[in-house]
Structure 1
Amino acid sequence: MPRGPEAAVQVWVGGQLFEAERALLVEHCGFFHGLFRSGMREARAAEVRLGVLSASGFRTTLQVLRGERPALAAAEELLQAVECAAFLQAPALARFLEHSLTSDNCALLCDAAAAFGLHDLLHSAALFIRDGARELAAELALPEARAYVAAQRPSSYVAVSTPTPTPGFLEDASRTLCYLDEEEDAWRTLAALPLEASTMLAGVATLGNKLYIVGGVRGASKEVVELGFCYDPDGGTWRPFPSPHQPRYDTTLAGFEGYLYAIGGEFQRTPMSSVERYDPAARCWSFVADLPQPAAGVPCAHARGRLFVCLWRPADTTAVVEYAARPDAWLPVAELRRPQSYGHCMVAHRDSLYVVRNGPSDDFLHCAIDCLNLGHGSVTRCRQSSQQGGALHGGGAWGHVYTVTAYSRCSTPSRVAPGDCSGKKPASRGPVLCRPFS
């Protein structure tokens, strides 16, 4: 039997024979990494037998390790995948299960993760349940899972105002972060923005329970703010952090898989295609693959462990593309051919992307929504909203997609009562809504 890294390994699981790449198993599974480096007799055998796992679960493991995204709907399939992730010590499979969380399976996965000791999956499922309807927690079977969920703090929606620093107005009440008190159905003040910060045309995102602001401009000349700012809700403190190498404003900032991405934007009134990634641990930015075209203020969303942006193209075309980190490339996902007008956003919910726009052109004050299913690639038109106003913002949570029309200081999703953070209505590009803090 060949012993090189490219050699195939035959694995018997549940009475079925599988052939897998030795290097793939060693790289992604702690069990095989230890086995093949142990010098044990089993490591030198022509075949490896795993009598404790199911064939279906191991098949799912191989699919995930090879970059596939199998659809796991049945409870038995999910449980077998959790068992394989724990026994084989396969972080990639555990992460795939985190990306597969829905309101239908979160209780099952939370119980299974508690039973098999998959802490990251347990934590993600617990946060999912803690933020959801109370009925979700009632479905938990294990006392340790119920206790862990109860120990988590729920997340909050946060709205960021968009002022620009102006001498004489640094103490303006508009320089605030607000959070949504969902029990009282009202907005509360969370913190004041730093005096040096500007959220006008800035990128705003959350990552690791922190809020980040990048870019922003001062004055009519659009002077770019040099520093970025990070807010930590645990200590209630702001700290500066380095800006991207390329100065930019009207950039889209996304927190994804442990990194911040500054996507596109403008500089000196010229759209850019460059994208930079920030590593909070190393506190440094690096360039990644450019967008397929220059773009500013691009809609962005992530679902099922995938990062997407939406680009405008001539001839009434909206292109959805996905960033793939391993080849470092933007890959085409779908094209929507619709009459366009102005203002659009993109919302991810479960396994679908909702592209929201102020159109069609003959009725531009109405909100039109297209749903792109990521599983089978189909596109359907949703019911048209009669909400009217200016630029669109959006979000998705617990079975609903919300749109926010930006023509006042602190507009809110339609399911909550409108709240005003300070009692004033300054001119604003519109609120930035996110759900970061627990």
Structure 2
Amino acid sequence: MSESEDDNSGVESSGSRPCRHPAVLSARLTVVVEDTHFSEEKTLLVRSCDYFRALYRSGMRECRQEEIHLKSLHARGFFIALAVLRGEAPGLDADDIVEAIECAAFLQVAPLTKHLVHLIDSDNCVLMLHTAATFGLLDLYHAAALFIRNMYPDLEVEVRRTLPLELISFVESLSPSAFVAVGAHVTCSTSESVHAASRTVCYLDESGNTWKTLTDLPLEASTSMAGVAVLDNKLYIVGGVHGLHKDVVDASFCYDVSKNSWIEIAGPVKRRFNLSLVGQDGHLYAIGGEYERTVMSSVEVLELKSGRWRFAAHLPRPASGAACTKTMGRIFVCLWRPMETTEIYEYIPTKDQWRLLTSLIRRQSYGHCMVAHRDDLYVMRNGPSDDFLRCMIDCYNLSTGQWTALPGHFANSKGSLFTALTRGDSVFTLNRSCTLEYVVSGKMWKPRRQMKGFPRSGSVWTFLLQIPNNQNDKCTNKSQKST
């Protein structure tokens, strides 16, 4: 075997006789856990698990065996790991969660850890936190702790009854995710001040029931018909327009709340406005939009690590301002078409394809937005078309594939559902007069509290940001000075 063939084998030498032959990674491996035998391709295990990757780079005699025994591990946990590695998204009960966390930590299975993070909810978050702390699964540990912090008033009794003091202290040390809003504004003219109140990103101080300024938009940034999304606690503004002729803004921006700073980032290859922007797993998805009076079906993906945009599979048909949401690690877009038909598509990144999930026919004028809670997708629309102020909600359950209509209606005069988002088991909606928080119980939205509305006219973008305590103090001082 030549030296170049050695280097391309994907297995490195360290110690005794190395496992370098390509056949080593093309064969199947039998993994014995407890009394259960699993047969799987070695390439899948090596690609997805740090444990097997290290094993086949070690040169140890186990890497030449056709059967490996894993001790101190449960068969159910390994079964769940294999299901996730094959692209499945299994639901997990309490026992499953413990064994899956044990497996993810022992074998260092990053996809399984990511799947567990996506499954965090109010029923399992305390168990997730405690078990992740026990096995040292840090990504899950931090995600579960933040989820609990965001729902602390509802979970504090259970947390104090269940968790050890050090975990309680860690949860309480975190800053909860704040409800943040920014109006739809064009780029600044030379005569407009960068500190103009209308060009600020604001967050709701829920304890004081007041809106405070978080940051000013960059001079070149436009939130008018832009794509706005948050990923990894950073705010992204892509595209948008300025001027009466809706000239497309070339520049895109990222706000890092931990540093309280903006940077300019690369924009999509195809200029666009009125796009939908979704952030998921280190990628931004610019979906549809318009350019030169043409509605687009093209989709582009920004890999944040490399900073490069690439084209993805086109939407099934052109769409601008499409309602999008994500839940349980999955991305969904809602498309409307004539004959009063609503269609929900899921984008599958591993296959780069859009899959039609369901269609619904309802009397409506058009849809407002779509939000997700656990495995439910809530589609908001105004209708019937002769009653613009009424907002109707239909719920699609991903697990059962069934539609249900929420009873009654939600009046836009009380809380506009042109924009809505979920935090824990709550849904936040707002308009100029009030911010409303609903509690999702079953498939019902029950009003919980009413807070101050967002004092801006026009369209509003809403999202969640975790604001550090020191940054929160600065925002308070800034808001007091501006007042």
> Which letter maps to 1:47?
E
Distance in 1 between residues matched to 2:64 and 2:283, nearest whole Å: 40
Distance in 1 between residues matched to 2:347 and 2:134, nearest whole Å: 34
Distance in 2 between residues matched to 1:142 and 1:266, nearest whole Å: 53
Q: Of residues 174, 181, 190 in structure 2, which corresponds to 1:159? A: 181
Please say if residues 411 and 431 of structure 1, whose CA atoms lie closer than 8 Å, have aligned partners that are also in contact.
no
Distance in 1 between residues matched to 2:66 and 2:382, nearest whole Å: 62
Please say if residues 202 and 215 of structure 2, whose CA atoms lie closer than 8 Å, have aligned partners that are also in contact.
yes
Distance in 1 between residues matched to 2:423 and 2:255, nearest whole Å: 23
**Secondary structure at 1:274 match in 2:** strand
1:82 CA displacement = 0.5
Tell me which residue corresponds to 1:63.
Answer: 83
Tell me which residue corresponds to 1:235.
Answer: 259
1:435 aligns with 2:464: yes
1:124 aligns with 2:143: yes
**Secondary structure at 1:272 match in 2:** strand
Identity score, percent: 46
1:388 aligns with 2:388: no
1:375 aligns with 2:375: no
Tell me which residue corresponds to 2:424.
Answer: 398
Tell me which residue corresponds to 1:353.
Answer: 377
Q: Of residues 160, 170, 195 in structure 2, which corresponds to 1:148? A: 170
Tell me which residue corresponds to 1:107.
Answer: 126
1:177 CA displacement = 0.9
1:418 aligns with 2:418: no
Distance in 2 between residues matched to 1:202 and 1:68, nearest whole Å: 34
Q: Which moved more, 1:224-233 or 1:294-303?
A: 224-233
Please say if residues 120 and 144 of structure 2, whose CA atoms lie closer than 8 Å, have aligned partners that are also in contact.
yes
> Which letter maps to 2:246?
K
Distance 1:56 1:177, change over 3 A: same
**Secondary structure at 2:401 match in 1:** coil
Tell me which residue corresponds to 2:110.
Answer: 91
Structure 1: where are the runs of 5+ without partners?
A: none
Q: Of residues 29, 34, 38 in structure 1, which corresponds to 2:58? A: 38
Please say if residues 179 and 463 of structure 2, whose CA atoms lie closer than 8 Å, have aligned partners that are also in contact.
yes
1:266 CA displacement = 0.6
Distance 1:391 1:374, change over 3 A: closer
> Which letter maps to 2:127?
L
1:315 aligns with 2:336: no
> Which letter maps to 2:74?
S
Distance 1:53 1:198, change over 3 A: same
Distance 1:432 1:211, change over 3 A: same
Tell me which residue corresponds to 1:12.
Answer: 32
Please say if residues 358 and 392 of structure 1, whose CA atoms lie closer than 8 Å, have aligned partners that are also in contact.
no
Superposed CA deviations along residues 329-374 of structure 1, whole A, max 9, x for unmatched, are 1122221222221342010111211111112334342111111112
Q: Of residues 314, 329, 334 in structure 2, which corresponds to 1:290? A: 314
Root-mean-square deviation (CA), in Å? Answer: 2.1
> Which letter maps to 1:112?
T
1:269 aligns with 2:298: no
1:103 CA displacement = 0.6
Q: Of residues 18, 22, 27 in structure 1, which corresponds to 2:42? A: 22
**Secondary structure at 1:121 match in 2:** helix
1:282 CA displacement = 2.4
Q: Which has the higher helix share?
A: 2
Distance in 2 between residues matched to 1:133 and 1:199, nearest whole Å: 32
1:196 CA displacement = 2.1
Please say if residues 150 and 423 of structure 2, whose CA atoms lie closer than 8 Å, have aligned partners that are also in contact.
no
Distance in 1 between residues matched to 2:364 and 2:466, nearest whole Å: 35
Aligned residues, how many? 428
Distance 1:3 1:282, change over 3 A: closer
Q: Which moved more, 1:42-51 or 1:384-393?
A: 384-393
1:401 CA displacement = 3.0
Distance in 2 between residues matched to 1:400 and 1:149, nearest whole Å: 19
1:196 aligns with 2:216: no
1:139 CA displacement = 5.0
Distance 1:235 1:87, change over 3 A: closer
Q: Which moved more, 1:80-89 or 1:309-318?
A: 309-318
1:226 CA displacement = 1.6
